[in-house]
Amino acid sequence: MTDFTGLRALVTGGASGIGLATARLLAARGAEVAVLDLEPSGARPPLRGYRADVGDAPSVRAAVAAAAADLGGLDILVNNAGIGAQGTVEDNDDAEWHRVLDVNVVGMVRVARAALPHLRRSGHAAIVNTCSIAATAGLPRRALYSATKGAVYSLTLAMAADHLHEGIRVNCVNPGTADTPWVGRLLDAADDPAAERAALAARQPSGRLVTADEVAGAVAYLAGPLSGATTGTSLAVDGGMQGL
Ligand code: NAD
């Protein structure tokens, strides 16, 4: 088990789902963990909560500065906050495209900009972006969401190239459908939630949804010293969806 003692981590969207599981795992392994979230109350001690909207640059700058000051620096950024969107290109108008791209892509850029000066000082820093199997799988009725995650994938590669020689590795995780509050809300809105859950599970060769803890394990690997030679790559956590 990787020991994160002495490392300082910032997890965006860390008050729910994949982000919360990641924040808890890093903290359980000894890291000091700050959570940046629209509604940080879900992140209980020892996690430290900071309220910010990744769509709003001033709030991001203030929260990242406060977290870095409280933790005494940053070694790990888990760029995870994101929102969903359903439909074909005919279903979402330009305003919706701008809104979701702004949160899922520009939001990660805003957080990275604010965090990079602190990560540079670490000397052995890691950024892990939460991408999605949607970036590469061609999922039906996910045009906008998939486009945002395709951008996150490309952003990950570009940032890995830009920051390698500053001692910062940049990778992403590509979860399949994970059993989080987000997916719970999607299921609640379906005509037949049980049938929808079964359909989502059947889409993955493993026949079940991924757990948030399984994604967190992959994030922890990419954030920690065991992946020290790994940068500019994606790790699928998708029950075999990409490979089988
Ligand atoms: P979730 O809704 O359970 O948690 C998301 C968290 O992000 C929430 O705490 C929310 O408050 C926060 N958040 C949302 N918008 C924000 C904003 N503008 N500023 C700050 N915080 C904000 O969702 P989840 O399923 O854990 O998803 C987390 C990430 O994983 C997202 O990037 C999502 O695209 C990705 N992902 C999820 C799945 C899945 O099946 N659940 C699959 C692939 C990728």
The rounded Å distance from CA 129 to ligand 1 centre is: 12
Q: Tell me the pLDDT of the chain (244 aa) as tens digits.
A: 789 999 999 999 999 999 999 999 999 999 999 999 999 999 999 999 999 999 999 999 999 999 999 999 999 999 999 999 999 999 999 999 999 999 999 999 999 999 999 999 999 999 999 999 999 998 999 999 999 999 999 999 999 999 999 999 999 999 999 999 999 999 999 999 999 999 999 999 999 999 999 999 999 999 999 999 999 999 999 999 987 7
Residue 221 bears catalytic tag: no
The rounded Å distance from CA 18 to ligand 1 centre is: 7
* DSSP SS3 for 83: coil
Domain ranges in the chain are: 8-178+212-236
Match domain 8-178+212-236 to its CATH number in 3.20.20.210, 3.20.20.80, 2.60.40.10, 3.40.50.720.
3.40.50.720
Is the CB of 37 within 6 Å of ligand 1? yes
Give residue for tokens 């020991």.
3
| ipTM higher than threshold 0.95 | yes
Whole-prediction pTM:
0.98
Is 171 in contact with 214 (CB distance < 8 Å)?
no
Helix (H) or strand (E) holding 202: helix 193-202
Retrieve residue 135's tokens.
């970036």
Q: Ligand 1: which of 11, 18, 148 to mutate, judged by most atoms within 8 Å of the beta carbon?
A: 18
pLDDT attached to residue 173? 98
Retrieve residue 141's tokens.
């009725």
pLDDT attached to residue 130? 98
Helix (H) or strand (E) holding 135: helix 134-137
CA 160 remoteness from chain centre: 16
